[in-house]
Amino acid sequence: MLTLERIDIRQDEFRLTAEFKVDDRALVAVVGPSGAGKSTLLNVISGFFAPVGGRVLWDGADITDAAPGKRPLSVVFQDNNLFPHLTAFQNVALGIKPSLKLDKAEAVRVNDALERVGLVGMELRKPGALSGGQQSRVTLARLLVRGRPLILLDEPFAALGPALRVEMLDLVAELVRAEGATLLMVTHHPADALRIADQTIVVANGVAAAPVPTQALFDDPPKVLRDYLG
Amino acid sequence: MADRAQPLIRFWPGFGAAALVAALTLGTVLAVALRAEGWAGLTPSDWAAVRFTLLQALLSAAISVALAVPVARALARRRFRGRSLLVTLLGAPFILPVIVAILGLLAVFGRNGLFSYLFGTIGLPAIDIYGLHGVVLAHVFFNLPLATRLILQGWLAIPAERFRLAASLGFASDDIARVLERPMLRNVLPGAFMVIFVICTTSFAVALALGGGPKATTVELAIYQAFRFEFDLGKAALLALVQFTICTVAAGLALWAHVPEAGAPGLDRAVERWDARGSGSRWLDAALITLAALFLLLPLAMVTVHGVPGMAGLGNSVALAAGRSVLVALAAALVTVVLALALAFAVQAVRGTIGKGVLEGIGYLAIAASPLVIGTGLFIVLFPLLDPVSVALPITALVNALMSLPFALRALVPAVAQVEHQFGQLADSLSLHGWARLRHLYLPRLRRPVGFAAGLAAALSMGDLGVIALFADPEAATLPLQMYRLMAAYRMDEAAGAGLLLLVLSLSLFWLFDRGGRIDADT
Amino acid sequence: MKSTLIATGLLALASTAQAQEKPVLTVYTYDSFVAEWGPGPQIEAAFEAGCGCDLQLVSAGDGAALLARVRLEGARTDADVVLGLDTNLTAAAAETGIFAPHGLDLAEFDMPVDYQDNIFLPYDWGYFAFVYDQKTVPNPPESFEELAASDLKVVIQDPRSSTPGLGLLLWIKAAYGDRAPEIWEALSDNILTVTKGWSESYGMFLAGEADMVLSYTTSPAYHLIAEDDASKAAAKFNEGHYLQIEVAAKVASSDQSDLADQFMEFVLTEEFQKTIPETNWMYPAVMPSTGLPEGFETLITPETALLYSAGEAAEIREEALQEWLTALSR
């Protein structure tokens, strides 16, 4: 279980507080106006941004000061999720060993993951030779081999077309459920939240609210959300 | 493509600039050659000079680059107070007048220097700096900062997002080195190596003074001999061509190997690194930065210590000379930027890698040129037309501008390409051409590299004695010339004061331009 | 706007002295001559006081650069007089045919050698010598052989780029003849380094890098007179010391022939000669009635003055250079 305890984030004029828990195996959307701090919230959880106060806990263990790579989570950023000079196989293999010296079993795991995301035969292509959707699939394959229990997505498919985005969301939801992981996903589209997220966190007015059921939230949005949705 | 619409504006200034550079470099060699009264081949001692030139330049470049890698890495991944000041100060040796630098280095590494003194107190013999190792030490002193800057540039050109991704995947420092840093270094190092190699090939006074004797004869000294001792202009021209050939081969390799831009993004940005938080690597970086800073700043500190007492006694004539030098430096900065922009636009507009390479290559000719041959050739061409003394300062500014052009091009060519890549189509769609494109698109977007190029040109020009020997106007000495005059009149203290003034003015000019390019520069 | 200002400033600086009514006499000389503390300003004022002309001093590096410039300009040169060549350069200078005889009756020169030349007129002279600090070198060597046997470190100048450097080459050749290569080899471990010019060497010596520096017997006079520092001295060598005689010559194609003649005469007058010791730090070619400034009497006087004639110097310098290169490149 992910716990944010009296988290206090400051950056120049900007301020954001958070105090909530996320249940295991929950699929949670993070919504809110631009600049409200959705990405910053994810950066605090993933270790790229240090809060001035409060703690981040995972299953009761304090991970507030842990290095990003040592945390029990995987992140997918808006872009730059792949190294352009490495092949699809290598980009996934990094999730097992940064040294890329895989033994046979590990290589099989990489190939299995690529197969599960539908990239058979594309192992040796570099990102430049893959479509946007295929690049996203490589990233997801790496999530699979890393096997971390918490997955953070920061508007991961914003650059894809609507149909492709829906396809990728469904794939994410399927993989996360199959792995039994917990998902936190920043999105601008209520439809995305409604499509895969059981719960939603609203980030607005300097507060990241505790997760609430998504359907109920959008059926009767609070004022901040109404202003944002327009 | 839109260059069809307004090709004139984008090509011709660049071709004009290229023609000017070629005339001043190759043309002056030709002018000298045409005045030759006979042709003699190269003697064995000339070949010995060629061999020594290659040897010392190869060693100097290799060691400068090898040392610069860990220093650049340390600077890339650490933030500390005074970091940006340090990065600016580290550039100082490069713009120091040769004689000031030699005396500064000797004050630290010489027989009577700081280290010999320290060794003496614990019973060790004094350092013997004179020899090939002394030449290399001096060249590393001059060029380590340049190498560090070029490589630091490479580090900062790795998108921060890649380091973030690496951190999210739990990369250790070794993993980052293998996956991110080594590919970058493979791309950046050959270029940095070649640039420093070329700079070192034209060295003369430093190589001789620290080389300990005529073993350390470089091609440039052989040119001096041909010109002064033998008055054999044919030989001087021939040797100048040998020097060009060495440098053209090296510069060709450099272009092919891709050199990083020398200063477009801000170097005072440190990349956030999550792998290097251990105290071991922290200490290592701190030690590296301290050592590099000591190596580069101690001689400068000695220049300061020796210069301060003499500064009080500096008269009006030094102040006037300083004023003239600042004017020359400003003019040189302006000319450098105009030439570099014209060339960069033309490189951008010309199609085909060969055309681009040749055009850009011409811009680099100046670092391969012998200042003595440029000065002599210009003199031969100009003398029948006008009184050389009357154009002394403009000629000084022009030639100094030429010497800074390669570094300005390194900063501007990639920056122009990037602006064109990002906004070229938008500008085309809005019919933004010619001056409008220059004023509303390029100049605002290029503020940083233009500021850097202008600062470097101004600073280099302040300290350069270059070609002015034949053109010197006795009534209007520049600061370096005035400093030499003080030395020639036994006034070493005042000369040291003038040297310090020169250092302070050079650095200030560089800092002002470089800063100016950053203030309000929208990213 | 800014660039216009800069351009205007440059133009203003470049065209300092515009054409004036008075005739202009152009004298080419080396750079340190025209510096404000050199002889130039005083000599210019003194000559202009009597000539009704404008004396313009034009500088070009040192003596060798000066000759190179005149050769580049050839007969079209603007120079009316060239002042600052030395006897090692006069043979090459005479060969160019640029210079005309001075036509003066050679008065009694106060020089240690008999000097006769109908083109090149001496205006000052000095002995090359190794200068040292008496505090650090209590027992200076008295010959090149003693220097070679000592563990003293000297800094010298490269004959290919420096006038004193060439002087040392001829000094050793004149003193030792065929033994010169042997002397150079013996000296090679005493030579700390070789510099491009005199300034670098002297700067290194004053900074304490070397025990001795190749300079002139008159150098200590500067420290004594200008700095009140009596610690510097020149070592007196038994072989004798090589002379440097600096000369002036009239340019044949001068369009101010009379003024040029007048200037050549002026060179030997008291007014010119008395400025030399304390501005050029050399001995005047004709001793002024006031004698030498106080302090010069402390300088050493070599027993033997060595000097090759212009023709000999030109003949042997190539060979001497090769010997030097060979001995020091081992």
pLDDT tens-digit readout, A17-55: 999 999 999 999 999 998 899 999 999 999 888 999 999
What percent of chain A is modeled with pLDDT above 70? 100
Does a structural domain hold residue A188?
yes
* Phi, psi dihedrals of residue B432, rounded to the nearest 5°: -85, 105
Q: Do residue C191 and residue C255 come from a single domain? A: no
> Are residue C239 and residue C250 in the same domain, yes or no?
no
Asked if residues C27 and C80 have their Cβ atoms less than 8 Å apart, the reply is: yes
Please answer whether residues A148 and A181 qualify as being in contact, where contact means their C-beta atoms are separated by less than 8 angstroms.
yes
Domain final position from A97, A126, A147: A147
From residue B101, alpha-carbon distances to B89, B112, B139, B238, B299 in Å are 14, 16, 10, 30, 8
In terms of domains, do A114 and A184 share one?
Answer: no
Residues C266, C25 contacting (CB under 8 angstroms): no
Residue C136 has pLDDT above 60, yes or no: yes
Does C92 contact chain B (CB < 8 Å)? yes
Query: Looking at the structure, do residues A173 and A105 belong to the same domain, yes or no?
Result: no
Mean pLDDT in residue range C193-218: 93
- Indicate contact of A with C: 3+ CB pairs under 8 A: no
Cα distances from B312 to residues B305, B506, C207, in angstroms, run 13, 19, 20
Rounded distance, CA C182 to CA C303, Å? 24
| Domains of chain C: total | 2
- Residue finishing a domain among A125, A147, A169: A147
Residue A77 is assigned to a structural domain of this protein: no
The answer to whether residue A163 sits within a structural domain is yes
DSSP H/E element including C83: strand C81-86
Beta bridge partners of C125: C245, C283
Q: Residue B121's pLDDT is what? A: 87
Residue A32 lies inside a defined structural domain of this protein? yes
CATH number at residue A161: 3.40.50.300
Residues A116 and A158 placed together within one structural domain of the fold: no
Q: Which of C63, C270, C252, C249 is nearest to C167 (CA)?
A: C63
| Interface subset of C 141-170, CB within 8 angstroms of B | 153, 158-161, 166
CATH assignment of B51-306, among 1.10.3720.10, 3.40.1050.10, 3.20.20.70, 3.10.20.740 = 1.10.3720.10
Q: What is the pLDDT of residue B353?
A: 75
Strands A27-31 and A199-204 come out as parallel
Q: Tokens representing C131?
A: 């200068």
| CA-based nearest residue in chain A for residue B277 | A67
| Residue A189 and residue A89 share a domain | no
How far apart are the C-alpha atoms of B370 and B345, rounded to whole Å? 27
A109 lies in which domain range? 83-147
- What is the rounded distance in angstroms from the CA atom of residue B18 to the CA atom of residue B26? 11
Tokens 């070794």 found at: B174
pLDDT at residue number C150: 95
Residue B230 CB partners (closer than 8 Å, separation 6+) = none
pLDDT of residue B411: 81
A75 lies within 8 A of chain B by CB: yes
Nearest CA in chain B to A74: B168
CA pair distance C155, C206, nearest whole angstrom: 11
Q: In this structure, are A113 and A208 located in the same domain? A: no
C88 with C180, same domain? no
Residue with tokens 């750079």: C31
User: Do residues C85 and C216 share a domain?
Assistant: no
CA dihedral B116, B66, B102, B89 (to 10 degrees): -100
CB of A70 within 8 Å of any CB in chain B?
A: yes
Q: Does residue C15 register a pLDDT over 50?
A: no
Chain B residues whose beta carbon lies within 8 Å of the beta carbon of residue C328: 213-215
Residue A173 has pLDDT above 90, yes or no: yes
Whole-angstrom distance, CA of residue C311 vs CA of residue B386 = 35
Domain locations along chain B: 1-34+316-523, 51-306
Return the pLDDT at B165: 86
- Give the Å distances, CA to CA, from B314 to A69, B317, B491, B493, C50: 61, 8, 11, 10, 33
Place of tokens 């293999």: A93
Contact in structure between A141 and A114 (CB atoms under 8 Å): yes
User: Phi and psi for A166 in degrees, rounded to 5?
Assistant: -60, -45
Q: What is the mean pLDDT of residues A170-175?
A: 93
For residue C212, the surrounding DSSP H or E stretch is: strand C212-216
Chains that touch A (3 or more CB pairs under 8 A): B
Give pLDDT tens digits for C80-112: 999 999 988 999 999 999 999 998 877 688 999
3-state DSSP assignment of residue A151? strand
Q: Which residue stretches of chain B have pLDDT < 70?
A: 1-10, 254-278, 425-432, 465-470, 518-523
Interface test with A, best of B158, B161, B165 (most A CBs within 10 A): B165
Same-domain check for residues C191 and C132: yes
Question: Are C134 and C261 part of one and the same domain?
Answer: no
pLDDT classification of C12: cutoffs 50, 70, 90: very low
Is residue C6 in a domain?
no
CATH of the domain at C255: 3.40.190.10
Do A143 and A172 lie in one domain? The reply is no
Rounded Cα distance, A168 and B299, in Å: 61
User: Is B213 in Cβ contact with C193 (below 8 Å)?
Assistant: yes
Q: What pLDDT shows up at residue B465? A: 63
Compute the CA torsion angle A177, A183, A185, A189 (nearest 10 deg): 40
Q: Is residue C3 part of a domain?
A: no
Q: How many CB atoms lie within 10 A of CB B88?
A: 18
Number of separate helices (H) and strands (E) present in chain C: 14, 12
Kindly state whether residues A142 and A161 are assigned to the same domain: no
Task: Say whether both A59 and A128 belong to one domain.
Answer: no
Domain end (from A130, A147, A164): A147
A78 inside domain: no
A176 inside domain: yes
Assess B170–A contact: CB distance below 8 Å, yes or no.
Answer: yes
Residue C9: is its pLDDT beyond 60?
Answer: no
Mark whether A188 and A155 lie in a shared domain: yes
CA distance linking residue C11 with residue C5, whole number of Å: 10
Same domain as A220, residue A112: no
Percent of chain C with pLDDT over 90: 71
More confident residue, C5 or B216: B216
Q: What is the pLDDT of residues C18-58, one digit of tens each?
A: 444 789 999 999 988 988 888 999 999 999 998 889 999 98
**Same-domain status, C225 and C100:** no
| Cα C315 to Cα C313: distance, rounded to the nearest angstrom | 5
**Which tokens hold the place of C115?**
């000097």
Q: How far is CA C284 from CA B447, C113, C117, C273, in A?
A: 59, 14, 17, 5
Residue C13 falls inside a structural domain? no
Q: Do B167 and A70 touch (CB under 8 A)?
A: no
Answer for the pair B26, B247: CB distance below 8 angstroms, yes or no. Answer: no
How far apart are the CA of B166 and the nearest CA of chain A, in angstroms?
8
What global pTM score does this model have? Answer: 0.81
Touching C (3+ Cβ pairs <8 A), the chains are B
Residues C314 and C180 in one domain: yes
Average pLDDT over residues A145-166: 89
**Chain pair A-B, CB pairs under 8 angstroms:** 61
Nearest chain B residue (CA) to A93: B169
Separation between Cα atoms, residue C71 and residue B230, nearest integer Å? 12
Answer yes or no: is C222 within a domain: yes
**What's the total number of domains in chain A?**
2
Q: Does A94 touch chain B (CB under 8 A)?
A: yes
Residues A138 and A67 in one domain: no
CB B183 within 8 A of CB A86: no
Q: Nearest CA of chain B to the CA of C264: how many Å?
A: 21
Token pair belonging to C18: 């515009």
CATH class of segment(s) B1-34+316-523:
mainly alpha
**Residue B359's pLDDT is what?**
84
**Residue keyed to tokens 């101690």:** B298
Kind and range of the H or E run holding C248: strand C241-251
- Report whether B275 contacts B176 (CB < 8 A): yes
Domain contains C5: no
ipTM of the complex: 0.84
Core vs surface per residue B462-479: b (16+ CB within 10 A) or e: bbbbbbbbbbbbbbbbbb
Q: Are strands A207-208 and A212-213 parallel, antiparallel or unpaired?
A: unpaired
Domain span at residue C163 reads 126-243+300-328
Strand partners, C56: C26
Residue at A220 is within a domain: yes
- Top pLDDT among C213 and B87 is at C213
Residues C172 and C95 in one domain: no
Q: Which residues of B67-87 are buried (b: 16+ CB within 10 A; e: fewer)?
A: bbbbbbbbbbbbeeeebbebb
- One domain, residues A62 and A114: no
Listed in sequence order, the residues at least 6 apart from A112 whose beta carbon sits closer than 8 Å to its beta carbon are none
Closest by CA position to C324, among listed B235, B55, B40, B225: B225
